[in-house]
Amino acid sequence: MAEHAAEHESLLEKIVDKVKGHDSSSSSDSDDDKPSPGEAVTGKIFRLFGREKPVHKVLGGGKPADIFLWRNKKISAGVLGGATAMWILFELLEYHLLALVCHILILAVAVLFLLANATKFINRPPPQIPDLKIPEKPVLEFASALTYEINRGLAILGDIASGRDLKKFLGVIAGLWVLSIVGSWCNFLTLFYISFVLLHTVPVIYEKYEDQIDPFAEKALMEIKKQYAVFDAKVLSKVLSKIPKGKLKDKKKA
């Protein structure tokens, strides 16, 4: 009885302290300390894919994100222009990579050879040919990052195939099916170029108009969830209910 009375008194003290603290805080806070309506609204705004970081951080930050978001317009335009030139060269003009590399090497060696021999007639020193080497560290870092991403993708596919998340499984199947359809329309180089162009356009457009895109994406996501709930109730539940789980267990016991 004594312990119960002590617990009751401590509970009453906590309630009184909370009430007093709430009254003191509400009376002492000024209008300047209250969050503005804009801050309260932005805290509740839906963000695409549930992100909490800026688009620059989502893309990994650093120079690649600067290029995709056009922080330096000259570099971004140069990268996109180079990719476009390569696509036109290989896809439209049907040029081959090995032929291009050989022709570039032939041109470079011929120019250097002619310059080296021309300097003998004009009494000038021969051109200094740089010692060309591929640095080992960036290649190893790229290989390590690529290996990590491939292993992570394989782990995700294995987790999805284990049957733990039906929604994620159906999403992956639908995505691979759409990708297979797109792949039948164009070859890998064109698909890679389209993805490269999308990386240079979609993030920067979304970053500029995210306040208009996010509400529309929220409505679309709610509609997708609603349709999935209907599909789950009408189709998946019936299909799963027809699986003879009890008969299989009886057969195993027998």
What pLDDT, in 10s, does the model give residues 224-251?
Answer: 888 878 877 777 666 666 666 555 445 4
Are residue 90 and residue 175 in the same domain, yes or no? yes
Rounded to an integer, what is the distance from CA 56 to the centroid of its chain?
A: 11
Q: Is residue 42 in some structural domain?
A: no
**DSSP structure string for 70-93:** TSSHHHHHHHHHHHHHHHIIIIIS
pTM: 0.57
- Count of Cβ atoms closer than 10 Å to residue 68 Cβ: 24
Contact 228, 90 (CB under 8 A): no
Residue 154 and residue 175 in one domain: no
Mean pLDDT of the chain: 76
Cβ–Cβ under 8 Å, residues 160 and 169: yes
Per residue in 187-206, pLDDT (tens digit) is 888 888 998 999 899 988 98
Residue 140 shares a structural domain with residue 236? no
Q: Give me the domain span that covers residue 188.
A: 53-95+165-207
What pLDDT does 127 receive? 72
Q: Are residues 202 and 217 in the same domain?
A: no
Query: Which range is least confidently modeled, 82-91, 101-110, 205-214, 241-250?
Result: 241-250
Total Cβ atoms within 10 A of residue 196: 17
What pLDDT is attached to residue 42? 44
Of the ranges 36-50, 119-133, 214-228, 238-252, which one carries the lowest mean pLDDT score? 36-50
Best-predicted range by mean pLDDT (20-24, 33-37, 78-82) = 78-82
